[in-house]
Amino acid sequence: MVRALLVATCVGSSVLVSGCATESCTAIGCQNQASFTVRAPDDTWAAGTYMLGVSFDGVATTACHFSMPPLPATQGSLVPLDCSPVPPAGSFQAYLEQVTTCTTTDNGNESSQSCTPVAGRYSLSVTTTTMPASVGVTLALGGADPYFDDTKSFAYSVAQPNGA
């Protein structure tokens, strides 16, 4: 059951590439990047130590280790993963993110949003500033053989969040 849902989620993983080739932009949101998210069923992960292997374009990039529940259990905070070898600074980030539920309030003149972390529920996110054609993902629990191993191609698009 876990395997099937992880496969479905990774198949639907999203890729966002932002860039400012010809438009003028502020520094906000203006860099090339590719990212993907791995989610467990109901965002609930079995307790234990996990190994995440990531490769870009068929070349092993890094292996990251993490525990569930994450320690320290900082409610609502990103939990960076321990990865080795350590990719160049800024080129690769892997972290657990606590799932939140959000409520939007609109009084007709203004709206506001309030989000609350959901205890024990996490997603796993990886971002790179390189632009690989493909990503390979392996996930294993407790030193056992991987129960998830898949490769997907990226599809890039141009986004100019601060320009036309």
- CATH number for the domain including 147? 2.60.40
pLDDT tens by residue, 149-163? 888 888 887 776 666
Domain presence at residue 115: no
Structural domain tally of the chain?
1
Q: Which whole-number Å values give the CA distances from 31 to 62, 94, 164, in the listed order?
A: 22, 17, 16
Domain presence at residue 109: no
Domain presence at residue 107: no
Residue 39 is predicted with a pLDDT of 86
Rg (CA), the chain: 17
Domain presence at residue 133: yes
Residue 112 is predicted with a pLDDT of 92
Domain presence at residue 116: no
Identify whether 70 is preceded by a cis peptide bond (ω within 30 of 0): no
Domain presence at residue 105: no
35-39, 80-84, 86-90: least confidently modelled range:
86-90
Statement: residue 5 has pLDDT above 50: no
Mean pLDDT (the chain, rounded): 76
pLDDT tens by residue, 41-58? 888 888 999 999 998 888
pTM > 0.75: yes or no: no
Residue 27 is predicted with a pLDDT of 57
pLDDT tens by residue, 110-130? 989 998 888 888 889 888 888
Statement: residue 4 has pLDDT above 80: no
Domain presence at residue 158: no
Side by side, which strands form the sheet with 34-39? 34-39, 111-128, 92-106, 79-80
Domain presence at residue 136: yes
**Domain limits for position 38:** 2-96+123-153
- Give residue 74's identity as a one-letter amino acid code: T
